[in-house]
Structures are given as C-alpha cells and as structure tokens.
Structure 1
Amino acid sequence: MAAPSKEELTLIEKFRGQLEDLGLDDEQKSDMQLLRWIRARENDLAQAEKMFRNYFKWWKEEDIANILTWTPPEMILDIYPIHVDGSDNENAPVVIFPLGRADLKCIMRNGYKDETIRYIDQVWERAIIKMKGRLTNEGVPVTQFTCVMDMDQLSMTTVGSFKVIQLFTSTLHHLDSNYPEIFRKCFIINTSRAFQILFGIFKPLLTGRTFRKLDIFTTEDKWKPALLAEIPPSSLPEYYGAGDTVIIPMNVSNENCSLKWKIGVESYDIDFYVTLNNQEVVPKTKLESHRASVYDSHRCDSIGIYNFHFDNSYSRLRSKTVKYCIKIEH
C-alpha cells in the first residue's frame, strides 16, 4: 500500500484521536494500519470510525488475538489446504487458495460453516503476522498481501449449492468488514463458466477498491506470465511456476570428515535425502513441520560433491519453506 499523502496524514491523526478510548496497541494505531480503514471508506472518518469500532468489538469477542493457537478440524485442513508462504516482488506475503478443488459441499454437509469461516480468518491473521517488520521496495511498512485464487475444477454443483453460496457470502462479509484494504493484488485463475456464474452473484458485494485489485484469467498461458511478473518462482508451488526440488551442494575435499546439519520445515512436510555420485548416502526421509528441527550428521568416507535434496515433487500444489544450516567438520 502506498505511503499516506499529506492530507491522509492529517486524517490519520484525527482518526487516531477518535479511537483513543479503545486502548489500541502500537501496531493497531500505527499510521499504515489506520490508513487501511480511512481508504476503505474513501476518507470519510465517521464511516471509518464506525467500521473500526464494529471490527474491534468482533476482534475481542472472537478472541482473534489468539486465533493462531486454534486448530481447525482435520477435515477442513485436508479438503481446503490454504498456502501462506513466500513473498511477491513488493515483499508482501503470498496466499494461495485452491478454491476450485475444495469440496466445500462436503464441509458444509458436515456442519463446518462457522469453523471454515474462522479458518479463513486465521489465514488472514497468518498473513498479517508475516507482514510484521517487512518493508516494501519504497521503504513503506507492508500491510497487504497478494492472493491467488485457483478455480480449477470448480463445478456447477458447487456453485449451485445454497449452503456453499452462504459460506461465500459470509466469507466476503468478514473480509470487507474486518480486513479492509488487505489485498495488494488478487489473481483469480483457471476460471470457467461455473466461476462466471459465481462471480455474477458476488460482484455486487465487492467494493470498487477491491474489484480494481482483481485480475481474472482463464487458461495457464494467460495467468502464468502475469503471476510470474508479480511473484518470484521460488515463492510459488511447482504447479504455478516453481521448481519441485532444491539441491544444496557441499564440496567435501578431505576424507574422514563429517557433514552436520540442522533442518526445519515451516509448514507441511518435504522429502529429504543426500547423494554422492547420484547414489543415496543418507536415505530419503520425510521432514514434518509439526516436529522439532532435525539434527543429524553423516561420516564422509569419500571426497566429492554431496548433494542435499529437498524434494517437493509429491506435493506440487504446496510450496514449502525450509530453514537449514549445513556445515563440514574435520
């Protein structure tokens, strides 16, 4: 989001004063956070205040400050895995919704409407956490993220479900009411006739500011260049343009030394193994995010290039963040 103008800085000071009784923390009352609400209501401070107070009431009642400690039902996580990772070219987080593939009718059939809405609220909060401390290329604090909504396999039966439409309506209401100006850009890709019908229902619910941030594409040859112009391949799952395996080479020039490593996975899991001359010397194993970082070592009886493989080929739609430290000890 662009830095505030002189006029907006004046409005921000007035707005901050209007909210003084709420006891906001430093982040909540920062210039860039308050600016989101002002811009969302086109500089109308009375409307911005009303909107913020409604949000703040909801924020306290729903204990949003602790929402990251809540675990969604396993069914929701399995059916609707939402990816929050990586950064776009403006250093904003990237959120990917595989919306078309999600069996939302199944979720609703099992009575998980409220839990799904809370799950999506949790996704917004995860993205907000990742924004903290980040600056754009212009040195402005990051307060927005880039969203990719993949409509591949969206069916007419899903679009025709009244309960699914209710879920979409509630989700949009939460987004507009509680997370204004949160999108830097929103790519909607792999759209079909089913999406056109769905979009026709929800387009009137979108604010003009939100609508202008949408980029809608049909086929891969149209969306992939646009996506890669805004998001580095390394921040995308392999299906959207990234590679599926990362290899870290380590040159061992002396015999009888050891390779030692510490590896952690931020979310989901990834296959890991080590090779020498295309032969596995450390067998493939799955590193899982819910476990502590892995500390391990390998005694090197031969010199050569030892390749550390992080293989995501079995999970093309989910990119992974891996943190590692590898060293050679003699």
Structure 2
Amino acid sequence: MAPLAVDLSDDQRFALMKLRRNVADSKKPEHDDHYLLRWLRARNFDVDAAEKMLRESWQWREQWEVESLQTWEPPEVIQKYYPSGLSGFDKEGSPVVVVPFAGLDMWGMMHSVRKSDFIRNTIKMLETYLRIAGEQVKQHGQQASKVVLVVDMENFNLRQYAWRPAGELVVVILQMYEANYPEILKAAYIINVSKVFFIAFNIVKNFLKEYTLSKIQIYKNNPAKWKPVLLNQIPADQLPAYYGGTMTDPDGDPKCPSKVKPGGKVPKSMYYKKPENTVNSEKFTTVVVKKGDKLKIPFLVAEENTLLKWEFRSENHDIKFGILCTDMDGKETEAVPLQRVTSQQMDEIGMITCQGPATYTVIFDNSYSIMRNKTVHYSVGLFSPEEAKVEDTDLQEG
C-alpha cells in the first residue's frame, strides 16, 4: 500500500493500523486508509469509538439500501422543487454545491412526499457528490475529496421551521449526516443571512460536531464581503454570476437554474393529504430527567402572538419547570420563571403568548436532586396566532 500523503503522529499511525486490522472482516476495497481516517478523526483517534461508529454506519447503509439508491428515482415533487445543484469545482477540484435555501418549501414537501423519501433523497445527493469527489481525486489528488457548500439564505422564512414536524426532520437529517458522513465537508459558506437566521442556527448548531462548525463561515446580506471569499476558493467560471462568478444559463440567467434548481412553492395539487393540526395530534412524550440534569426543549417562534401550550405530569416526585425566551439579539428573559411544581399530585397545564421571532426553551430541571431521576410525561406545542385565538377563547369559556 502506498504511503499516506498526510502528516500523522506515531500514535495516529498506530491507531490507523489497528482500525484497519479490526475492520478487515467487513471493509470493502474502496475503504482505503483515507476513508478510515475520516472515522478516526471524527472520534479523535479513539480506535474503539471509531470502529463502533463505522460499523453502525455500515449497518445503517444496509437498512437504507444506500448502494441501490443510485438507480432510485425521487418523487416528482422533489425533482421539481428541491433547491440545489452542482455548479462546478473549486480551485483544487472539489465539487461545489449551491443551495438556494429559501426555495425549499418544507410545508409543501412534507404534505407531498413521505418523510422517508425526503431522507432517502438527501442520502442520494450526498452519495452522488461523494462519488463525484472520488472521481476528482483520481485527477487532482486527496485535496479534491471533500465538498464545498454555498447556502444562500436570502428571504429565509423562519416560520416554516417553527412548524415542529419540519424542525424535527431537519434535526433527523443533521444527526444522520454527522453519524454517517464524517469529515466530508471542505467548507460551507452561508450567505445573505438575516437576524432571524441566527435564531434557527443557535438550535441547529447543537446537532453539529465541532469539526463541522469549524468549516462554516456565515455572512450577512453584503455581497461585497462574501463574493471575494467565494472567488478566492472557486474559479469564476465555476460559479453562477449571481454569486460573483461568470456562469450564466444560455438565456443569460445569472442564477443558472439549469445547474442549480431554485426550488419553489409546491402546488397544492401535488399534496397527498390535507394539512394536519400537528399540535392537537401530539401525544405525551415520556422522558427520564436524570439526577443533577436538565431537559431543554427549544421551539422556534416566527410570529407575534403565537401560543405556547404545555401539559405535563411527573411520577412520584416534583420537578422544576420554566420557559426561557431568547430574542434575535441573543438576550435571554424568563417567560415563565423556573420553579418547583408538584406535578406528581396534579397535571400541570398552562399557556403563554409568545413574542416573535424568538426561541422559547421549555426546561424541566432536575439539577437540584442528587438522589433521584424523575420520570416526566409531557405534551408541549405551538399554535399559530389564528389557532391561538380559538384556544384562548376555549380556555376562557372553560
């Protein structure tokens, strides 16, 4: 085997040799040392942890039949309305993927395709870009093995992700990415962000590893700042003119929709079901809040006068409960002061009117207990301003 063209310490080389030996029973010819190093770096060269992560990922690939996704055709709505595309390659040969994020209609998508198909499409895209990167490596070397991402957040709509099913799906995809695609991101440029973006990002970053976060650069809506940065890494002829390059479609469109699909609002004619009242259909979730620990549940509130409603009970013992509000500037206030409640005796029920855009974090706090874990059954949800009016009227009449 040819020597690795990377700098490794003696301990790291020993870890690589050990992992190579440990997984020899299952690894495929394409699982070379560069591949194994991705998993070792993701686990700080802890061989046992890297092997566990790798084997779990191989099992995950079997469950999702990843190898056969190359021939799988996504549903029509995804093909037409999922925004993204390969614009070209950076100066070292790495694939450059552009995502006009505001073109993603999550509400329409989730009422037109199954959640599993949305995830399957994400996997297929990741596999496609990695396969392209693999081809680039043959010509440009290992510096082309990772992906460059440009995410345009212009006109970002926070309200879509305040809808809990959409937010939960984003979290599932992030967790899937971190567990199964370590060390594939070369750089991520998130451009044209507004203040409301940071409300969502403050939640999202909790599900990203430090390595991933270190690759992300965020720029406000100031092309004079981010265009030179993009062009420093990406040749002008590999980037749409709208983002500072020289590429245009044959008709002169600077966004190059023939390469980078813009997405758009999914027509209701493509919906497979009527919108559901997701709050009223929620069931109680049961959790164990360990002694000395807290459970924090964040909610994105996009609109003024959104109603946050809760109901919970604890088993045998009381627990502290409160709600923290974080506004666009990062200022925190107590929407509901944290205090002990005797929810083991009677269900605790309440609601507050929220001011948005902001993040409201529901907290079950068991940090004061050094002896007992606490079992809590809870249902917490958001109502739109229109639903809030109905809910508030029902509460007053009750």
TM-score (norm 2): 0.60
Whole-angstrom CA distance in 2 between matches of 1:141 and 1:226 = 19
Name the residue aligned to 2:377: none
Partner of 2:114: 112
Superposed displacement of residue 213, structure 1: 0.5
Alignment equivalent of 2:14, drawn from 2, 10, 13: 10
Indicate the SS of the match to 2:252. Answer: coil
Change (3 A) 1:240 1:319: farther
Distance 1:2 1:189 in 2: 33
Amino acid at match of 2:94: A
Structure 1 match to 2:90: 88
Alignment match, 1:72: 74
Cα 1:2–1:197 shift into 2, 3 Å: farther
Aligned twin of 1:216: 218
Match of 1:233 among 215, 232, 236: 236
Match of 2:207 in 1: 205
Partner secondary structure for residue 20 of structure 1: coil
SS at match of 2:188: strand
Aligned partners of 1:3 and 1:195: how far apart in 2?
Answer: 37
Per the alignment, do residues 118 and 211 of structure 1 end up closer, same or farther by CA in structure 2, a change over 3 Å counting?
A: same
Report the alpha carbon displacement of residue 204 of structure 1 after superposing the two structures with TM: 1.4
Aligned-partner SS, 1:72: coil
User: Does structure 2 conserve the Cα–Cα contact (< 8 Å) formed by 1:32 and 1:141?
Assistant: no
Across the aligned residues of Structure 1 and Structure 2, the Cα RMSD in angstroms comes to 2.4
Question: Counterpart of 2:255?
Answer: 316
Judge conservation of contact 2:16–2:33 (CA < 8 Å) in 1.
yes
Asked if the contact 1:4/1:35 (under 8 Å) is kept, the reply is: no
The answer for the alignment partner of 2:100 in structure 1 is 98
> Could you tell me whether the CA contact under 8 Å between 1:159 and 1:194 is conserved in 2?
no
**Cα distance in structure 2, aligned partners of 1:36 and 1:100:** 31
Greater gyration radius: 2
Residue 4 of structure 1 deviates from its aligned partner by 4.5
Q: Quick check: 1:243 aligned with 2:246?
A: yes
Unaligned 5+ runs, structure 2: 261-398
Change (3 A) 1:137 1:9: farther
Partner residue of 1:140 out of 126, 139, 142:
142
Hey, what's the Cα distance between the residues in 1 that align with 2:155 and 2:96?
A: 22
Q: What is the aligned residue count?
A: 255
**Residues of 1 paired with 2:246 and 2:122: CA distance?**
27
Helix, strand or coil at the partner of 1:215: strand
Report the CA distance between 1:198 and its aligned residue: 0.8
Q: Partners in 1 of 2:101 and 2:90 — Cα distance?
A: 20
Q: CA 1:10–1:312 in 2, change beyond 3 Å: closer, same or farther?
A: farther
Which residue type is aligned with residue 15 of structure 1? L
3-state SS of paired residue (1:9)? helix
- 1:238 touches 1:316 (CA, 8 Å); kept in 2? yes
**Whole-Å Cα distance in 1 between the matches of residues 114 and 48 of structure 2?**
36
Alpha-carbon separation, structure 2, partners of 1:108 and 1:213: 29
Q: C-alpha displacement at 1:159, in angstroms?
A: 2.7
Q: Which residue of 2 aligns with 1:157?
A: 159
- Are the aligned partners of 2:77 and 2:113 in contact in 1 as well (CA < 8 Å)? no
The one-letter amino acid paired with 2:120 is R
Q: Distance in 1 between matches of 2:103 and 2:77?
A: 14
Q: How has the CA–CA distance of structure 1 residues 9 and 231 changed in structure 2, closer, same or farther, with 3 Å as cutoff?
A: same
Tell me by how many angstroms 1:315 deviates.
Answer: 7.0
CA drift at 1:201: 1.0
SS at match of 1:21: coil
Q: Which string of whole-angstrom CA distances, capped at 9 and with x for unpartnered residues, describes residues 68-114 of structure 1? A: 21111111122213212411122111111221221111111234322
TM-score by length of 1: 0.71
Cα drift, residue 244 of structure 1: 4.4
Number of the residue aligned with 2:23: 19
Residue pair 1:33, 1:143 contacting (<8 A) in 2 also: no
Deviations 1:252-296 (A, max 9, x none): xxxxxxxxxxxxxxxxxx6xxxxxxxxxxxxxxxxxxxxxxxxxx
**1:183 aligned residue (172, 180, 185):** 185
CA separation of 1:109 and 1:139: change in aligned 2, threshold 3 A: closer
Q: How much does 1:63 deviate?
A: 1.6
Match of 1:130 in 2: 132
Tell which deviates more after alignment, 143-152 or 234-243: 234-243
